[in-house]
Structure 1
Amino acid sequence: MAELQIRLYQDDDDEDVKEIFTLGMSEHIPSSFMHILKQPLPQMILVCVFCALLTSSMSILLPILTVTLLLAAGRQGVSYMFTKYIQTSLNQDLNHIRQTYLESPNSCFWVAESQDCVVGTVACLPAQFENCLELKRMSVKKSHRGQGIAKALCRTVADFARERGFQGVVLHTSVVQTDAQKLYEHMGYHKIREFVVPEVIARLTNFTILEYRLNLKQNCD
C-alpha cells in the first residue's frame, strides 16, 4: 500500500471530500433497489398488477411493459431518495465542514491522503448518547478500498474519543451497506438497535438503519 497519512481536514480538501461522499453514497442505489425488490409488499404489488393486466387484456405485452415501467419508476424513486439524502448532508454539514467539525468542541474531521490525493474521510461529533462521540462521514474511494484505510480512519476516531475521556463511539449505517457492517464489527462495534427511516418509501420497503456502538472502556482493559 502506498504511504498513507491521516490528517486534519483543510479547506483545500472541500471538493475532494464532497466528491468522495457523493460517489460513495450513489454506489448504494443498485443494492438498495435490489433490497426493495426482495420485500413482500413490492413483490405483491408487481404480481397483482401483472396478473390483473394479463387477465383483463389477454395479452402478455401490456403487463410486461407495465411492470417494466413500475420497476423503472421504483429505481428512480430510490435514486431520488439518495439524491435527497446527499443534498441534505451537504446542506447540514459538508458545505461548512470547518464550522461544524473543527470549530466545535469534541468534534473533528480527518482525511486519508495517499500520494498527495485525498482518498478517504471520517468525522465525529458529540452523540446523543451520554459520554459518546458519533462517527460520521466515513467513506473511502472505491479505487483505494481493501488497503486498510477504513480501519485506520476508524481507529483515528476511537483514539480521539479515548483521549478525551469518552466511553464509547456510536455510528449509523444502512441494511444494504454489508461491507461497512463487516468492517465495524471487525473493529469491535456491536449492533445495539435497528430502526426504519421515517420517509414513506423507506417505511413501505423496510429500509432499515443499524446503530452500532464501540465500548472504549472495555478496549482499555
Structure 2
Amino acid sequence: MADYKIRAYRDSDYEAVRDLFSGGMSEYVPGVCLHVLKQPWVVFVLTCMFLSLMCSSKSLILPIMAVTLALALGRQALGHVWNVYIERCLKEDLRDIRKTYMESEGSRFWVVEAEDSVVGIVAAKPSEEKDGELVLKRMSVRKDFRGLGIAKALCREVIGFARQNGYRSVVLNTLVVQSEAQRMYESAGFTKYVEVVLPTVYGKLVNFTISKYRYDVLPAS
C-alpha cells in the first residue's frame, strides 16, 4: 500500500487540485453517453432513423453511416456540455480555494499527498439550505491511487471536522453516473435519503438524477 497523508490545502496546491478535479470529472463522459443511449426515446429515434433510411436506400451502408454519425455528434455534444459544467465549477468555488474554504468559518479543504504529489482532494462547507449540515464537496482521488482506502479516509476527515465543529450531519450529492462513488459513500456509512431529477431541460430530457446522501454525526464518546 502506498504511503499517503491527508493535510490542509496550501496555495501551492492550487493547480494540482484543479487538474485533479477536472481529470476526475472528465472520466464520467463515457458513462454520461451510455446513460443517454439507454433512454427509451433515444433508442426509438435511432431505430426509426435506421429503419427509414434502410427502407428508402435499400442498403445497409447509408443507415449504418447515418447512425454512426449521429452517435459521434451526440458524443461531441455531451462532452461539450460536461466540459461546460467542469469549467463552471472551476470558476465558482475552485476559483479561489483559500477564500472559499480556508478563510470561511466552518469550511475546510484537504488534499492527499503521496509520492510528492496531490493524489486526492475533498472539501467541506456549511449547507446553504439547512442549519447544522456540512456539505461534502469536490471528492476526487487520482485513478492510480484508488482502491487504497483514500476516499474513505477523506470521508472520515470530513466527518471528524463536522463533529468537532458541532454539525449535526454531513450531506453530499452524487450523479447517476457516479455508481462507484455511491457504493463507496454507502460503505463509509452514508445513507441515500432522496433522489431527484436534475432540474434543467437537459436533466429532465435524459432522466439525469441526483442522489443525496447523509451521514448523521454522533456525539464524540
1:68-107 to structure 2, matched below 5 A, reads 68-107=68-107
Query: What SS does the aligned partner of 1:133 have?
Result: strand
- Give the TM-score of the pair, scaled to structure 1: 0.95
Match of 1:64 in 2: 64
After TM superposition, give the deviation of residue 201 of structure 1 in Å: 2.8
Match of 2:123 in 1: 123
Match of 1:189 in 2: 190
Match of 2:23 in 1: 23
Match of 1:149 in 2: 150
Greater helix proportion: 1
**Cα root mean square deviation, aligned:** 1.3
Aligned-partner residue type, residue 162 of structure 1: R
Query: What SS does the aligned partner of 1:113 have?
Result: strand
Counterparts of 2:202 and 2:10, CA distance in 1: 37
- 8 A contact 1:122–1:136 mirrored in 2: yes
Counterparts of 1:95 and 1:2, CA distance in 2: 30
- Give the TM-score of the pair, scaled to structure 2: 0.95
Instruction: Render the CA deviation track for 1:14-40: whole Å, top value 9, x for unaligned.
Output: 111011101100000111111111111
4+ residue runs of structure 1 moved beyond 3 angstroms?
A: none
Instruction: Render the CA deviation track for 1:83-139: whole Å, top value 9, x for unaligned.
Output: 011100000111210010011111110001112211000001111223110000000
- 8 A contact 1:41–1:204 mirrored in 2: no
**Which stretches in structure 1 are left out of the alignment for 5+ residues?**
none
Query: What SS does the aligned partner of 2:7 have?
Result: strand
Counterparts of 2:130 and 2:59, CA distance in 1: 58
Counterparts of 2:146 and 2:122, CA distance in 1: 14
What is the percentage of aligned positions where both structures have the same residue? Answer: 49
Match of 2:136 in 1: 135
Aligned-partner residue type, residue 198 of structure 2: V
Query: What SS does the aligned partner of 1:93 have?
Result: coil
Match of 2:42 in 1: 42
Query: What SS does the aligned partner of 1:212 have?
Result: strand
Number of aligned positions between the proteins: 220
Counterparts of 2:140 and 2:112, CA distance in 1: 10
Of 16-25 and 46-55, the range deviating more from structure 2: 46-55
Counterparts of 2:73 and 2:204, CA distance in 1: 17
Counterparts of 1:197 and 1:64, CA distance in 2: 33
**Which stretches in structure 2 are left out of the alignment for 5+ residues?**
none
After TM superposition, give the deviation of residue 58 of structure 1 in Å: 2.0
Counterparts of 1:74 and 1:197, CA distance in 2: 19
Counterparts of 2:150 and 2:189, CA distance in 1: 16
Counterparts of 1:46 and 1:202, CA distance in 2: 20
